[in-house]
Amino acid sequence: MSVSAAYVTFADPDGVDDEQEPTLAAWAEAGITGHVVRWDDPEVDWAAFDAVVVRSVWDYVDRRAEFLDWARRVESVTRLLNPAAVLERNTDKTYLRDLKAPAIPTYWVAPGEAVDFPVLDEYVVKPTVSAGARDTIRTGDRQEAEAHAARLAAEGRTAMIQPYLDMVETEGETSLLYFGGRFSHAIRRNPMLAGNATTPGEGNDHGELRTPDPDQVTLAEQVLAEFPGVLYARVDLVRLPDGSPVLIELELTEPYLFLRYAPDAAANLARALAEAL
């Protein structure tokens, strides 16, 4: 029986999604015919696919409500991966407040609230709905941090304030990749806001293979236990100054999966999709 799946992307004039090719090749090896489609293409018959897999939808940030409406419509006619409820929760980083697993200390400033957070050595301030390092600043100037948080709140967005951890530049962030609930590979990622980056987010899709420590695996699986039924997940971890691992972000919507960094990564994703179908 022929099985078809949509690989969902966005209108990408620069062709920056370099994971499309290995994904489709691995799907074909697993007996799944892949079709590359834009999520906002009005001509697509989503019911024609056995599964619709959300991948490089990197323009959703400015159109989140429209994107979530699309996800719910698709899910009403076929299998959407990851599910619409997961996408809705994950596209607003306030999900960090609700997790049982330990996460990096975060302070929140919602529209209409006073800007109030502790004194930190260095601040990272960003909106809860964002991608990459968009509208994100790193600063040691408290007034600048307060002003940026106030500006985001005045725009109707919730601001989040976190401490900048120097060890990100030495140990780096560790990203653990899971497909179908199984560990696939881990990456040491380049810091997005390091002082040697020429633009925010530069180097975010570059890293090197890493064997995660047992405490990192334990934490990643604790986090994922709160999101059952996802096809793909990237769990981004850092260590606090006391050495304990914490979640900095959970990517369940459109993460870069570092498929080219591990020989079996694309095949692992294809196997998970085949099993889901």
**CATH number of the structural domain spanning residue 124:** 3.30.1490
97 with 116, same domain: the answer is no
Query: Per the domain annotation, does 272 fall within a domain?
Result: no
Domain interval for residue 49: 3-82
Confidence of residue 195 (pLDDT cuts 50, 70, 90): very low
Residue 91, pLDDT above cutoff 60:
yes
Residue 252, pLDDT above cutoff 90:
yes
Query: Per the domain annotation, does 268 fall within a domain?
Result: no
Confidence of residue 2 (pLDDT cuts 50, 70, 90): confident
240 with 172, same domain: the answer is yes
114 with 97, same domain: the answer is no
**Structure confidence at residue 241 (pLDDT):** 87
Query: Per the domain annotation, does 121 fall within a domain?
Result: yes
Query: Per the domain annotation, does 159 fall within a domain?
Result: yes
**Structure confidence at residue 202 (pLDDT):** 38
Residues 38-67, mean pLDDT to the nearest whole number: 95
Lowest mean pLDDT among 43-47, 100-104, 194-198: 194-198
Q: What is the number of other CB atoms lying within 10 angstroms of the CB of residue 141?
A: 12
Residue 169, pLDDT above cutoff 90:
no
DSSP 165: P
Residue 53, pLDDT above cutoff 60:
yes
| Side chain identity at residue 30, one-letter code | A
97 with 212, same domain: the answer is yes
Distance between CA 13 and CA 6 in Å, rounded? Answer: 19
DSSP 14: T
175 with 234, same domain: the answer is yes
Query: Per the domain annotation, does 266 fall within a domain?
Result: no
**Structure confidence at residue 116 (pLDDT):** 85
241 with 191, same domain: the answer is yes
Residue 225, pLDDT above cutoff 90:
yes
Phi, psi for 72 (deg, rounded to 5): -65, -35
Distance between CA 146 and CA 123 in Å, rounded? Answer: 10
Residues 212-225, mean pLDDT to the nearest whole number: 96
**Structure confidence at residue 201 (pLDDT):** 35
**Structure confidence at residue 197 (pLDDT):** 37
Dump pLDDT digits (tens) for 116-146: 888 888 999 999 988 767 789 999 999 999 8
77 with 117, same domain: the answer is no
Residues 225-251, mean pLDDT to the nearest whole number: 93
Residue 199, pLDDT above cutoff 70:
no
97 with 197, same domain: the answer is yes
Phi, psi for 214 (deg, rounded to 5): -55, -40
38 with 63, same domain: the answer is yes
DSSP 49: S
How many domains does the chain divide into? 3
Residue 205, pLDDT above cutoff 80:
no
